[in-house]
Amino acid sequence: MQIIKTNSLTKFFGTTAATDNISIQVELGEIYGFLGLNGAGKTTLIRMLLGMIKPNNGTVMLFDKELTSKFNQWNDIGYMVETPSAYPNLSVRENLMVYYKLRQLNNPLEIDFIIEKLKLSKYKDTKAKVLSMGNQQRLGLAKALMHRPKLLILDEPINGLDPEGIVEVRNLLKELSKNGSTIFLSSHILGEVAKVANRIGIVHEGKLIKELTSNELNDQLIKKVLVQTSDNARAIELLKSISHKVALSEDDDIEILDGKAIKQPENISKFLVEQGLPPRQVRLFTEDLEMFFLRTIRTKA
Ligand code: ATP
């Protein structure tokens, strides 16, 4: 079942298309990571998914129902968009209480459960206005999650969190997805999205330029074996003689680009030792996600 489906979703601000013909589909139980640089159009798309702004063109379907004024499944959706807002003079618990009433929930234990879950117990009586940014983010997530929605839509959920918080939120999202929730999250932090999402959409200047699963992403990252020896010119000749695809990098590393070497870099060491040219260093290089992202953007621009 498709939980989210957008069809050619387009939103103009003036003459700029903040989102340009974006069609995405998110299946039940998926964690979909929507990746893009600042200003790429992530928040705009999320605001349209939540009916906060109207598209100039295109449609949104949530739970197979078109998003119109008659849409009546808001209780199945939890969200956090941009900097989460809270009543500044109310404590964490009081803020959640307001939300509990707004959502018309009927199990007060949920409030303490979610406070505990988001590691906010120490701050439950602290006024929202004095919370750190990371804890405000946790409070925002608590509000999004308290009613146990089937679909969670989160705009930059790890903004402002410390490394420990990032790991906690990542684990929390994975747990929610394992229990059947569908999650759509936006981020510009590529490594994080890759760690949590099953599928990734890359948006740039309003356009969806690539969609891939996390396995496909892993396959598409450039990998190579980097080698250093005391005589790189000779090592290159030797490696070419046994059909390796070899080049010299700008940093004077020997780069071996073929799959055979990438799968078994230890054979490279063994070969060079046998040839009387023991390598000083052999290491497997994997392109990082920032590089992949920039490469993707450049090739599509
Ligand atoms: P960030 O990561 O910085 O939050 P984003 O990917 O969420 O960026 P959007 O906030 O969706 O990007 O903005 C996309 C484009 O639309 C930007 O050029 C932005 O300046 C513009 N934009 C967004 N909201 C408005 C608005 N209300 N009025 C005018 N322009 C807007």
> Which residue from 133, 91, 132 is spatially nearest to 115, judged by alpha carbons?
91
Q: What is the pLDDT of residues 205-260, one digit of tens each?
A: 999 999 999 889 888 899 999 999 999 999 999 999 999 999 998 888 999 999 99
Asked whether 207 and 56 are in contact (CB, 8 A), the reply is: no
Q: Check pocket membership of 43 for ligand 1, CB cut-off 6 A.
A: yes
Lowest mean pLDDT among 56-60, 176-180, 275-279, 286-290: 286-290
Asked whether 89 and 113 are in contact (CB, 8 A), the reply is: no
Q: Which atom of ligand 1 is nearest to the CA of 40?
A: 6
Q: What angle is formed at CA 28 by the lines to CA 294 and CA 34, rounded to 5 degrees?
A: 20
The yes-or-no verdict on residue 301 having pLDDT over 70 is no
- Reported confidence tier of residue 134, pLDDT bands at 50, 70, 90: confident
The yes-or-no verdict on residue 83 having pLDDT over 90 is no
Give 41 Cα–ligand 1 centroid separation in angstroms: 6
Q: Check pocket membership of 244 for ligand 1, CB cut-off 6 A.
A: no
Q: Where are the beta strands (DSSP E) in the chain?
A: 2-13, 16-22, 25-27, 31-35, 57-62, 65-66, 77-80, 151-155, 182-187, 199-204, 207-213, 223-228, 246-248, 254-256, 281-286
Of 11, 22, 42, the one to substitute when testing ligand 1's pocket (max ligand atoms within 8 A of C-beta) is 42
- Reported confidence tier of residue 300, pLDDT bands at 50, 70, 90: low
Q: Check pocket membership of 41 for ligand 1, CB cut-off 6 A.
A: yes
Q: What is the mean pLDDT of residues 19-43?
A: 95
The yes-or-no verdict on residue 18 having pLDDT over 70 is yes
Question: Which tokens in the block code for residue 215?
Answer: 């396995």
**Which pLDDT value is given to residue 158?**
87
The yes-or-no verdict on residue 84 having pLDDT over 80 is no
Q: What is the pLDDT of residues 245-260, one digit of tens each?
A: 999 988 889 999 999 9
Beta bridge partners of 152: 78, 183
Give 44 Cα–ligand 1 centroid separation in angstroms: 6
Q: Check pocket membership of 44 for ligand 1, CB cut-off 6 A.
A: yes
Q: Give percent of the chain above pLDDT 90.
A: 72
Give 204 Cα–ligand 1 centroid separation in angstroms: 12
Q: Check pocket membership of 81 for ligand 1, CB cut-off 6 A.
A: no
- Reported confidence tier of residue 54, pLDDT bands at 50, 70, 90: very high
Asked whether 154 and 144 are in contact (CB, 8 A), the reply is: yes
